[in-house]
Amino acid sequence: MSENFKLDLARRPRRLRQMAAIRSLVQETWLRKEDLIAPLFVMDGEGAKETVGSMPGVYRLNIQDLVAECTALAELGVLAIALFPSIDPSLKDEQGTEADNPDTFALRAVKAIKKAIPELIVVTDVALDPYTSHGHDGVLDENGARVLNDETVERLCRMAVLQAEAGVDIVAPSDMMDGRVEAIREALDVSDHEDTAIMAYSAKFASAYYGPFREAVGSAQAAGTTQLDKKTYQLNPANRREAIADALLDDEEAADFLMVKPAGPYLDIIRELRNETALPVAAYQVSGEFAQIHAASQKGWLDYEKCRDESLMSIKRAGADLILTYFAKEIAASL
Protein backbone atom coordinates (compact mmCIF):
# COMPACT_ATOMS: atom_id res chain seq x y z
CA MET A 1 0.00 0.00 0.00
CA SER A 2 1.27 3.45 -0.87
CA GLU A 3 2.59 5.44 2.07
CA ASN A 4 0.60 8.40 0.75
CA PHE A 5 -2.69 6.50 0.66
CA LYS A 6 -5.44 8.38 2.47
CA LEU A 7 -9.21 7.95 2.27
CA ASP A 8 -11.19 11.06 1.42
CA LEU A 9 -13.68 10.84 4.30
CA ALA A 10 -15.59 13.74 5.81
CA ARG A 11 -17.26 11.49 8.37
CA ARG A 12 -15.04 9.31 10.53
CA PRO A 13 -17.19 7.67 13.26
CA ARG A 14 -14.08 6.48 15.10
CA ARG A 15 -13.43 10.06 16.20
CA LEU A 16 -16.03 9.47 18.90
CA ARG A 17 -14.37 6.24 20.08
CA GLN A 18 -10.74 7.23 20.37
CA MET A 19 -10.72 8.24 24.06
CA ALA A 20 -12.49 6.83 27.09
CA ALA A 21 -13.69 10.31 28.02
CA ILE A 22 -15.23 10.88 24.59
CA ARG A 23 -16.86 7.44 24.65
CA SER A 24 -18.46 8.30 27.98
CA LEU A 25 -19.51 11.71 26.71
CA VAL A 26 -21.53 10.21 23.86
CA GLN A 27 -22.77 7.03 25.59
CA GLU A 28 -26.49 6.67 24.93
CA THR A 29 -27.53 4.11 27.55
CA TRP A 30 -26.60 3.97 31.20
CA LEU A 31 -27.37 1.33 33.82
CA ARG A 32 -28.11 2.75 37.26
CA LYS A 33 -28.57 0.97 40.56
CA GLU A 34 -31.97 2.69 40.73
CA ASP A 35 -33.00 0.63 37.67
CA LEU A 36 -32.58 -2.69 39.50
CA ILE A 37 -35.02 -4.91 41.37
CA ALA A 38 -33.49 -7.80 43.31
CA PRO A 39 -35.48 -11.07 43.32
CA LEU A 40 -35.17 -12.87 46.68
CA PHE A 41 -36.36 -16.27 47.92
CA VAL A 42 -37.76 -16.72 51.42
CA MET A 43 -38.46 -19.92 53.36
CA ASP A 44 -40.20 -20.59 56.65
CA GLY A 45 -38.43 -21.40 59.89
CA GLU A 46 -35.11 -20.38 61.40
CA GLY A 47 -32.83 -22.75 59.54
CA ALA A 48 -29.61 -21.78 57.82
CA LYS A 49 -29.84 -20.39 54.32
CA GLU A 50 -30.20 -22.99 51.58
CA THR A 51 -28.19 -22.91 48.38
CA VAL A 52 -30.03 -22.99 45.07
CA GLY A 53 -27.75 -25.38 43.23
CA SER A 54 -28.38 -24.07 39.73
CA MET A 55 -28.03 -20.41 40.76
CA PRO A 56 -24.58 -19.65 42.22
CA GLY A 57 -24.73 -17.15 45.06
CA VAL A 58 -28.54 -17.32 45.34
CA TYR A 59 -30.15 -18.69 48.51
CA ARG A 60 -33.45 -19.42 50.16
CA LEU A 61 -33.41 -17.25 53.29
CA ASN A 62 -35.29 -17.39 56.54
CA ILE A 63 -37.07 -14.18 57.50
CA GLN A 64 -34.28 -12.91 59.76
CA ASP A 65 -31.63 -13.44 57.09
CA LEU A 66 -33.98 -12.01 54.45
CA VAL A 67 -34.30 -8.76 56.41
CA ALA A 68 -30.50 -8.60 56.71
CA GLU A 69 -30.14 -9.10 52.96
CA CYS A 70 -32.74 -6.41 52.26
CA THR A 71 -30.89 -4.04 54.57
CA ALA A 72 -27.64 -4.68 52.69
CA LEU A 73 -29.35 -4.06 49.36
CA ALA A 74 -30.91 -0.83 50.56
CA GLU A 75 -27.53 0.39 51.84
CA LEU A 76 -26.11 -0.25 48.35
CA GLY A 77 -28.83 1.89 46.82
CA VAL A 78 -31.15 -0.82 45.47
CA LEU A 79 -34.65 0.59 45.77
CA ALA A 80 -36.79 -2.55 45.38
CA ILE A 81 -36.88 -6.28 45.96
CA ALA A 82 -39.21 -8.91 44.49
CA LEU A 83 -40.14 -11.63 46.97
CA PHE A 84 -40.80 -15.29 46.13
CA PRO A 85 -41.72 -17.91 48.76
CA SER A 86 -40.43 -21.48 48.90
CA ILE A 87 -43.30 -23.36 50.53
CA ASP A 88 -42.90 -26.55 52.54
CA PRO A 89 -44.34 -29.43 50.48
CA SER A 90 -46.58 -30.40 53.40
CA LEU A 91 -48.46 -27.10 52.96
CA LYS A 92 -49.15 -27.61 49.26
CA ASP A 93 -52.35 -29.02 47.81
CA GLU A 94 -54.12 -29.03 44.47
CA GLN A 95 -55.93 -25.77 45.23
CA GLY A 96 -52.94 -23.94 46.72
CA THR A 97 -54.97 -23.05 49.79
CA GLU A 98 -51.94 -21.82 51.76
CA ALA A 99 -51.98 -18.77 49.48
CA ASP A 100 -55.21 -17.71 51.22
CA ASN A 101 -53.66 -17.84 54.69
CA PRO A 102 -53.34 -14.26 56.04
CA ASP A 103 -50.58 -15.47 58.35
CA THR A 104 -48.58 -17.42 55.76
CA PHE A 105 -44.86 -16.90 56.26
CA ALA A 106 -44.44 -14.94 53.00
CA LEU A 107 -46.73 -12.24 54.36
CA ARG A 108 -44.95 -12.31 57.70
CA ALA A 109 -41.73 -11.76 55.75
CA VAL A 110 -43.24 -8.69 54.06
CA LYS A 111 -44.22 -7.22 57.42
CA ALA A 112 -40.73 -7.84 58.80
CA ILE A 113 -39.10 -6.11 55.84
CA LYS A 114 -41.40 -3.09 55.97
CA LYS A 115 -40.87 -2.75 59.72
CA ALA A 116 -37.07 -2.85 59.39
CA ILE A 117 -36.67 -0.91 56.12
CA PRO A 118 -39.92 0.94 55.43
CA GLU A 119 -38.43 2.86 52.51
CA LEU A 120 -37.57 -0.32 50.58
CA ILE A 121 -40.10 -1.09 47.83
CA VAL A 122 -41.49 -4.62 48.19
CA VAL A 123 -42.88 -6.37 45.13
CA THR A 124 -44.72 -9.66 45.62
CA ASP A 125 -45.63 -12.43 43.21
CA VAL A 126 -49.35 -13.03 42.71
CA ALA A 127 -49.50 -16.60 41.46
CA LEU A 128 -50.46 -20.00 42.83
CA ASP A 129 -47.55 -22.10 41.54
CA PRO A 130 -45.46 -21.91 44.75
CA TYR A 131 -48.49 -23.21 46.67
CA THR A 132 -49.94 -25.92 44.40
CA SER A 133 -48.96 -29.58 44.51
CA HIS A 134 -49.05 -29.72 40.71
CA GLY A 135 -46.87 -26.64 40.17
CA HIS A 136 -49.27 -24.80 37.89
CA ASP A 137 -50.10 -21.11 38.30
CA GLY A 138 -53.80 -21.69 38.77
CA VAL A 139 -56.70 -23.91 39.74
CA LEU A 140 -57.16 -27.07 37.67
CA ASP A 141 -60.45 -28.52 36.43
CA GLU A 142 -61.86 -31.68 38.00
CA ASN A 143 -59.86 -33.84 35.58
CA GLY A 144 -56.62 -32.02 36.34
CA ALA A 145 -56.19 -31.33 32.64
CA ARG A 146 -56.85 -27.61 32.29
CA VAL A 147 -56.05 -24.46 34.24
CA LEU A 148 -59.32 -22.63 34.90
CA ASN A 149 -59.10 -18.94 34.11
CA ASP A 150 -61.89 -17.20 36.02
CA GLU A 151 -61.66 -19.40 39.12
CA THR A 152 -57.93 -18.68 39.23
CA VAL A 153 -58.46 -14.94 38.88
CA GLU A 154 -60.81 -14.98 41.87
CA ARG A 155 -58.04 -16.57 43.96
CA LEU A 156 -55.47 -14.09 42.67
CA CYS A 157 -57.65 -11.17 43.76
CA ARG A 158 -57.74 -12.57 47.27
CA MET A 159 -53.94 -13.02 47.24
CA ALA A 160 -53.36 -9.46 46.06
CA VAL A 161 -55.57 -7.98 48.79
CA LEU A 162 -53.80 -10.03 51.48
CA GLN A 163 -50.45 -8.86 50.18
CA ALA A 164 -51.55 -5.24 50.17
CA GLU A 165 -52.83 -5.60 53.75
CA ALA A 166 -49.39 -6.91 54.73
CA GLY A 167 -47.79 -3.71 53.42
CA VAL A 168 -46.70 -4.66 49.91
CA ASP A 169 -46.06 -1.68 47.64
CA ILE A 170 -46.45 -3.43 44.27
CA VAL A 171 -48.31 -6.66 43.54
CA ALA A 172 -47.08 -8.54 40.49
CA PRO A 173 -49.47 -11.06 38.91
CA SER A 174 -47.27 -13.53 37.01
CA ASP A 175 -49.93 -16.08 36.08
CA MET A 176 -50.97 -14.84 32.59
CA MET A 177 -54.69 -15.44 33.20
CA ASP A 178 -57.05 -13.35 31.06
CA GLY A 179 -58.57 -10.31 32.77
CA ARG A 180 -56.67 -10.61 36.02
CA VAL A 181 -55.22 -7.09 36.03
CA GLU A 182 -58.62 -5.40 35.87
CA ALA A 183 -60.04 -7.78 38.49
CA ILE A 184 -57.10 -7.25 40.85
CA ARG A 185 -57.30 -3.47 40.42
CA GLU A 186 -60.98 -3.54 41.36
CA ALA A 187 -60.34 -5.83 44.33
CA LEU A 188 -57.58 -3.58 45.64
CA ASP A 189 -59.65 -0.43 45.19
CA VAL A 190 -62.76 -1.71 46.94
CA SER A 191 -60.63 -2.90 49.88
CA ASP A 192 -59.10 0.59 50.30
CA HIS A 193 -55.75 -0.28 48.72
CA GLU A 194 -56.02 2.05 45.77
CA ASP A 195 -52.38 3.14 46.31
CA THR A 196 -51.04 -0.38 45.83
CA ALA A 197 -49.53 -0.58 42.35
CA ILE A 198 -49.71 -3.48 39.87
CA MET A 199 -46.66 -4.66 37.97
CA ALA A 200 -48.18 -7.03 35.43
CA TYR A 201 -46.21 -9.87 33.91
CA SER A 202 -47.69 -8.75 30.61
CA ALA A 203 -45.58 -10.64 28.07
CA LYS A 204 -44.51 -13.79 29.89
CA PHE A 205 -43.41 -16.54 27.54
CA ALA A 206 -43.59 -20.31 27.92
CA SER A 207 -39.82 -20.35 28.17
CA ALA A 208 -37.26 -23.05 28.87
CA TYR A 209 -35.24 -20.52 30.87
CA TYR A 210 -37.28 -20.87 34.08
CA GLY A 211 -35.82 -24.17 35.32
CA PRO A 212 -33.54 -22.84 38.08
CA PHE A 213 -36.32 -20.62 39.44
CA ARG A 214 -38.66 -23.59 39.68
CA GLU A 215 -35.99 -25.37 41.69
CA ALA A 216 -35.67 -22.34 43.97
CA VAL A 217 -39.38 -22.04 44.82
CA GLY A 218 -40.04 -25.78 44.79
CA SER A 219 -42.63 -25.82 42.01
CA ALA A 220 -40.36 -28.16 40.05
CA GLN A 221 -40.24 -30.56 42.98
CA ALA A 222 -44.00 -30.47 43.23
CA ALA A 223 -44.49 -31.13 39.54
CA GLY A 224 -41.61 -33.59 39.22
CA THR A 225 -39.97 -31.58 36.43
CA THR A 226 -38.44 -28.16 35.76
CA GLN A 227 -40.02 -28.28 32.30
CA LEU A 228 -43.66 -28.10 33.39
CA ASP A 229 -45.84 -27.36 30.35
CA LYS A 230 -47.57 -23.99 30.79
CA LYS A 231 -48.26 -23.31 27.12
CA THR A 232 -52.03 -22.94 27.59
CA TYR A 233 -51.52 -19.70 29.50
CA GLN A 234 -47.98 -18.44 28.88
CA LEU A 235 -47.09 -16.95 25.49
CA ASN A 236 -45.76 -18.83 22.48
CA PRO A 237 -42.09 -17.79 22.03
CA ALA A 238 -42.72 -17.57 18.27
CA ASN A 239 -45.39 -14.86 18.55
CA ARG A 240 -44.44 -11.19 18.60
CA ARG A 241 -47.79 -9.61 17.68
CA GLU A 242 -49.69 -11.71 20.21
CA ALA A 243 -47.25 -10.68 22.93
CA ILE A 244 -47.71 -6.98 22.27
CA ALA A 245 -51.50 -7.35 22.06
CA ASP A 246 -51.56 -9.17 25.43
CA ALA A 247 -49.36 -6.56 27.05
CA LEU A 248 -51.47 -3.68 25.81
CA LEU A 249 -54.56 -5.31 27.31
CA ASP A 250 -52.85 -4.97 30.69
CA ASP A 251 -52.25 -1.31 29.89
CA GLU A 252 -55.98 -0.89 29.20
CA GLU A 253 -56.85 -2.73 32.43
CA ALA A 254 -54.90 -0.15 34.50
CA ALA A 255 -51.63 -1.91 35.19
CA ASP A 256 -49.01 0.52 36.52
CA PHE A 257 -46.02 -1.32 35.02
CA LEU A 258 -45.77 -3.78 32.13
CA MET A 259 -43.21 -6.58 32.23
CA VAL A 260 -41.50 -8.75 29.64
CA LYS A 261 -40.17 -12.12 30.81
CA PRO A 262 -37.59 -13.48 30.01
CA ALA A 263 -35.55 -10.43 29.06
CA GLY A 264 -32.47 -11.40 27.04
CA PRO A 265 -34.13 -13.69 24.46
CA TYR A 266 -36.97 -11.18 23.97
CA LEU A 267 -35.22 -7.85 23.43
CA ASP A 268 -37.36 -7.25 20.35
CA ILE A 269 -40.51 -7.49 22.49
CA ILE A 270 -39.08 -5.05 25.05
CA ARG A 271 -38.31 -2.54 22.30
CA GLU A 272 -41.67 -2.83 20.61
CA LEU A 273 -43.57 -2.59 23.88
CA ARG A 274 -41.50 0.45 24.86
CA ASN A 275 -42.62 2.07 21.61
CA GLU A 276 -46.29 1.19 22.18
CA THR A 277 -46.90 2.25 25.79
CA ALA A 278 -46.30 5.26 28.00
CA LEU A 279 -46.15 3.03 31.09
CA PRO A 280 -42.87 1.99 32.71
CA VAL A 281 -41.56 -1.21 31.15
CA ALA A 282 -39.87 -3.81 33.34
CA ALA A 283 -37.91 -6.81 32.12
CA TYR A 284 -37.04 -9.92 34.12
CA GLN A 285 -33.59 -11.35 33.49
CA VAL A 286 -34.62 -14.83 34.55
CA SER A 287 -32.86 -17.62 36.37
CA GLY A 288 -31.76 -19.43 33.21
CA GLU A 289 -30.12 -16.30 31.85
CA PHE A 290 -28.29 -15.85 35.15
CA ALA A 291 -27.28 -19.52 35.31
CA GLN A 292 -25.90 -19.71 31.78
CA ILE A 293 -23.57 -16.75 32.32
CA HIS A 294 -22.28 -18.37 35.50
CA ALA A 295 -21.89 -21.78 33.87
CA ALA A 296 -20.02 -20.49 30.82
CA SER A 297 -17.72 -18.34 32.93
CA GLN A 298 -16.95 -21.26 35.25
CA LYS A 299 -15.86 -23.19 32.17
CA GLY A 300 -13.60 -20.32 31.22
CA TRP A 301 -15.55 -19.73 28.02
CA LEU A 302 -16.79 -16.21 28.86
CA ASP A 303 -15.59 -13.26 30.90
CA TYR A 304 -18.09 -13.25 33.78
CA GLU A 305 -18.22 -9.55 34.63
CA LYS A 306 -18.12 -8.29 31.05
CA CYS A 307 -20.89 -10.66 29.92
CA ARG A 308 -22.97 -9.88 33.00
CA ASP A 309 -22.70 -6.15 32.37
CA GLU A 310 -23.29 -6.45 28.62
CA SER A 311 -26.39 -8.57 29.16
CA LEU A 312 -27.91 -5.95 31.46
CA MET A 313 -26.93 -3.04 29.23
CA SER A 314 -28.59 -4.73 26.25
CA ILE A 315 -31.85 -5.06 28.22
CA LYS A 316 -31.71 -1.40 29.18
CA ARG A 317 -30.82 -0.37 25.62
CA ALA A 318 -33.79 -2.32 24.28
CA GLY A 319 -36.05 -0.03 26.29
CA ALA A 320 -36.53 -1.49 29.76
CA ASP A 321 -36.90 1.10 32.49
CA LEU A 322 -36.50 -1.48 35.26
CA ILE A 323 -34.68 -4.82 35.36
CA LEU A 324 -35.37 -7.66 37.76
CA THR A 325 -32.02 -9.44 37.99
CA TYR A 326 -30.18 -11.79 40.32
CA PHE A 327 -27.08 -9.69 39.60
CA ALA A 328 -28.64 -6.66 41.35
CA LYS A 329 -26.54 -6.74 44.51
CA GLU A 330 -23.17 -7.09 42.84
CA ILE A 331 -24.04 -4.58 40.13
CA ALA A 332 -25.15 -2.04 42.73
CA ALA A 333 -21.90 -2.59 44.60
CA SER A 334 -19.89 -1.96 41.44
CA LEU A 335 -21.64 1.23 40.35
User: Which long-range CB contacts under 8 A does 230-234 form with residues at least 24 apart?
Assistant: 230/136, 230/137, 230/176, 230/206, 231/206, 232/146, 232/147, 233/137, 233/138, 233/147, 233/149, 233/175, 233/176, 233/177, 234/176, 234/204, 234/205, 234/206, 234/207
**Nearest to residue 262, comparing CAs of 294, 291, 299, 302?**
291
Q: Any catalytic annotation for residue 204?
A: yes
Catalytic entry in 92, 114, 230, 261? 261
Q: How many CA atoms lie within 13 A of 66 on its CB side?
A: 34
Catalytic entry in 204, 230, 316, 329? 204
Residues written for the chain: 335
Q: Any catalytic annotation for residue 261?
A: yes
**Nearest to residue 189, comparing CAs of 125, 120, 253?**
253
For the chain, what is the radius of gyration of the CA atoms?
21
- Write out the catalytic residue numbers: 204, 261
